[in-house]
Chains A and B, each alone.
Chain A
Amino acid sequence: MPSGERLDRVRGAFAGLAAGDAAGWPAARHRSTLLAGWSRRLHRELDAFAEEHQVTTLPVPFALNQPVAPLAVGPSDDAEWLAWTALTIREDRAEAFGRLAGRDDLRARISVWAALDNLAAGKRPPASGHDNPHHFDDAAAVRAVAFGAAGLDPREDACVTNAEDGVLGAVAMARAVAALVDGAPMADAVEAALGALPAGTAIGHAAREALAAARAAGSPFAAVPALDAAVLDHVYSYGVAAAQTVPIALALADAAVASTGGTASAEAFGAGVSAAACLAAVADSAPALTGALLGCAAGHDALPAAWRERVRTLAGCCLPELAGTDLLDIAGRLA
């Protein structure tokens, strides 16, 4: 059994990830899948309306004649996939994913869908993660927070849905979280993560560039334009590419702690997650990964109480069976 401090840090990683997940603007989009399909059809029609009428701001997403709770600030895809990972972490990973293959009620990243299709077609890992157009995304890096918290190697899990930078991102996140759960300072955790990211890879190059940019900027918020320039080329909206989100998370977690007195705290957590949410192109998961690192370092009980309460109950917007589930309870069971 873990010590109280250790348990607090594991729960901090989960709550921190969920808070970051909730803070990014895409969360409301993901959570709006809980509303009726026709309301999202109207979103799409309003997109066309906006183009035709040259209007900037439209009333989407909205709840019409439906519960409004999904559109309130709350956890979405990353918190749910982390919870699913923690609940299945002792199982063979291909078998755990195999049970999802063929289901039509899931919401997942392109890498995960492609992997589920590969598994259904008889492809085993690592081909299921390699023969995959989005092998580079951070689906496995999000799940790796659970592996890091449990002190387990994330690779077998990562290879089901990802390859190359997608797997490296998972290893880096798991190493950082494992170090933080053990009580290491953030700088050591970031070094441990960097050790998993060869400089000749996109993710390794971006991580070093991002860390340098954020350190030079002095604070997470000041680092936002520099990170935008250092990591994002804006050719294509990858959104969740591990080579972008993991480096940004490492750099903002590092800068947040360094700029708030050198110790992890609620202040550092807020500074890092807020800055990540300002990077719109990666706001789907960079705040979540940043929140996992800073939440783990600070520990659950140090996080802002309002955020802790707001993100502990899952919505079921990606994995419907998780609706109403207590994320903290799942985090605690990891130990």
Chain B
Amino acid sequence: MISVRDRARGCLLGLAAGDALGAPAENLTPEEIAARWGVLTEIERGGTDDTEYTIFAATVLLRHGHALTSEDVARAWREEIVARLDGPMRGAGFSELGTVEALRRGLEPPLTGRWHAHGWSDGLAMRAAPYGIFAAGDPDEAARLAETDGRVSHTGEGILGGRAVAAAVAVAMTGAPPGEVTEAALRAVPEDSWTARNLRAALDVAARTPRSLLGRALHDTVVVAHYPWTDLAPEAVALAFAAYAAGGGEVEASVVTAANLGRDADTTAAVAGALAGAGRGEAAVPARWAERIGPVAGRCLPVVAGRDVRDVADEIVKGI
């Protein structure tokens, strides 16, 4: 029997392991990854913004619980991110700095998430797992909390990506099979949305494509050809869920599949790892990966320096 605490730890360790494994493969193509590593299976360096923003989101959530408001999140950004910035913002995406500038301008949510045009980024999806842990078994509440957070920094499809991840983690926390987990993600977003269309298409490809052809097939299905970045939530979420489904919900298989797809590989592998880790628990995260996951450095968010995802997981479970 896997306890809720085991699942919470599995979720955040899976996320941190995916973040670290995928980091060197970010922005590479599946072909470039294959040429460099064959298959990328070993963590080479530390995690990135995915893990640190996840810890930050969990910290703010634990202060307010189900009463969390977007104003609470905006205040935390102002006091703990903006106020500590005395130079460049490290390791974040355009949506984070865009949000910081909107907050500096004195705007309030939801305008802070709309002012910059990167509202569809995967920056909410990457930090949404704690909402699923906290609202384990209640995907609607998990999605609502993720959206509450997301209104500060995102809009539209960016919020939908966060809703999908949070709802899916909430269901994975019950030990449900991957099919039910991916179904929860689809139920958390409107049928007529880019996220839903990409999720359905990517899951369909994952179900019928041989492993050797999966990377190219997924790219052809959800990657926008004439756009130079890899930060679109509808793309990243679709790749992450397809990797999780193709990996059968196993932590190592899901995370390795996601990381080897390239694109925003740290984020897609982090999301796949969060889903699989919640489903299979701490013991299912490969030991050789888990021992590489220690306290975060605070390279992206100094306010979370020294925090360990295991402790964060335990605190969320105590807060349930």
Contact = CB atoms under 8 A, between A and B. Distances in A.
B258 to A, nearest CB: 21
A130 interface: yes
A114 B97 contact: no
A201 B105 contact: no
A235 B224 contact: no
A130 B194 contact: yes
Given A113-B225, A114-B227, A236 B118 contact: yes
A243 B117 CA distance: 9
Interface residues of A, number: 24
Contacts of B98: 233, 235-236
B169 interface: no
B224 A133 contact: yes
B234 interface: yes
A125 to B, nearest CB: 13
Nearest to A115: B226
B16 interface: no
A117 interface: yes
Contact of B197 (A127, A133, A134, A200): A127
Contact of A164 (B105, B118, B156, B229): B156
A235 B88 CA distance: 12
A113 B226 CA distance: 6
Contact of B101 (A113, A201, A235, A238): A235
B263 interface: no
Nearest to B231: A133
Interface string A160-172: 0000110000000
Given A133-B120, A243-B117, A114 B224 contact: yes
A110 B117 contact: no
A236 B94 contact: yes
A205 B234 CA distance: 26
A205 B111 contact: yes
Given A131-B194, A131-B234, A205-B111, A233 B224 contact: no
A113 B97 CA distance: 27
Contact of B116 (A201, A205, A235): A235
A114 B197 contact: no
Contacts of A132: 224
B198 to A, nearest CB: 8
Given A131-B194, A200-B110, A110 B226 contact: yes
A243 B98 CA distance: 14
A202 B227 contact: no
Given A114-B227, A133-B224, A202-B111, A238 B117 contact: yes
* Size bracket, chain B contacts: 20 to 34
Contacts of A205: 107, 111, 115
A241 interface: yes
Interface string B85-104: 00000000010011001100
Contacts of B234: 131
Contact of B227 (A110, A127, A241): A110
Contact of A134 (B110, B156, B192, B227): B227
B226 A114 contact: yes
A164 B117 CA distance: 11
Contacts of B117: 136, 165, 202, 236, 238, 241, 243
B111 A200 contact: yes
B73 interface: no
Contacts of B116: 233, 235-236
B114 interface: yes
Contacts of B197: 127, 131
B17 to A, nearest CB: 29
A241 B192 CA distance: 24
Interface string A213-252: 0000000000000000000011110100101000000000
Interface in A41-91: none
B232 interface: yes
Given A127-B197, A164-B156, A243-B117, A235 B227 contact: no
Going nearest first, the 9 A-B pairs with the smallest beta carbon separation are A113-B226, A131-B194, A233-B101, A133-B227, A202-B114, A136-B117, A235-B98, A235-B97, A236-B94
Given A127-B194, A133-B120, 17 more contacts: A113-B225, A114-B225, A117-B224, A130-B194, A165-B117, A200-B111, A202-B114, A205-B111, A233-B101, A233-B105, A234-B101, A235-B97, A235-B98, A235-B101, A236-B94, A236-B117, A241-B117
Interface of A: 110, 113-114, 117, 127, 130-134, 136, 164-165, 200-202, 205, 233-236, 238, 241, 243
Interface of B: 94, 97-98, 101-102, 105, 107, 110-111, 114-118, 120, 156, 192, 194, 197-198, 224-227, 229, 232, 234
7 contacts: A113-B226, A114-B225, A131-B197, A133-B232, A202-B117, A233-B102, A236-B94
